[in-house]
Amino acid sequence: MKKRMGLFAAATLLGALSLGTLRAAEPDNHSPEMTADIRTKMADPELAQSDFIENCAGCHGLRGTTVPAHLPEIKDRVGWFMCTPESRAYLLRLPNVAHSRITDNAQLADLMNYVVFVLGGKSVPAGTKPFTGEEVAHERQFALTSVSLKAERLRLANVAIAKCRAPASLRLQYPGSTQ
């Protein structure tokens, strides 16, 4: 198991490195630093980080950014979805999150706290409480489908823009997207 993870992480890193050569402006695509304050949001920050690398970074990138690929940008944006109870639930109801092969809800909560507090950076509204295992256990029962996802995302982005001063570009999958 450990060995598989190592191989996967290495593959992800290799991918990131070759992307890095394409994007001279962002040569360093290492995982972001975790400050002491942010580490308090997770029971096991190292596990949360390696879970993200193993389960999510293959699509979303080590830093939560994949531009110019057509994927939603997580870096410095995902935190806006912590604006209301409904929009934070959206993050747990995403198909790849709700159906994650991580069955331990507290462990998945930690992974999502890594996503929000580490990758989300300054987009997290002040006073936001970390996800709990109980919250994950409840919300993952209501996984979104690819049919319901787009409309729900747009609706919740509009709420975050109105209530939490999220930028208008949150309506898009990433700033500058034409979709």
**Is the CB of 24 or the CB of 147 nearer to ligand HEC?**
147
56 lies in the site for ligand HEC, by CB under 6 A: yes
Q: Kindly state the tokens that stand for 70.
A: 């057509």
Nearer to ligand HEC by Cβ, of 14 and 151: the residue is 151
CB of 37 to ligand HEC, least distance (A): 21
In DSSP notation, 125-162 reads PTTPPPP-HHHHHHHGGG---HHHHHHHHHHHHHHHHH
Nearest to 114 by CA among 70, 68, 167, 57: 57
Instruction: Candidates 24-32, 58-66, 134-142, 158-166: pick the segment binding ligand HEC (CB under 6 A).
Output: 58-66
The CA distance from 51 to 114, in Å, is: 9
Is residue 82 a contact partner of residue 163, using CB atoms and an 8 Å limit? no
Helices 2-22, 45-55: crossing angle, 10 deg rounding: 70
Q: Does 172 bind ligand HEC (CB under 6 A)?
A: no
**Per rule CB under 6 A, is residue 167 in the interface with ligand HEC?**
no
Per CB under 6 A, does 69 bind ligand HEC? no
153 forms part of the interface with ligand HEC (CB under 6 A): yes
CA angle 8, 10, 14 (to 5 degrees): 115
Cβ-based nearer residue to ligand HEC, 21 or 146: 146
Q: List residues binding ligand HEC (CB under 6 A).
A: 55-56, 58-60, 71-72, 74, 78, 91, 94-97, 100, 115, 146, 149, 153
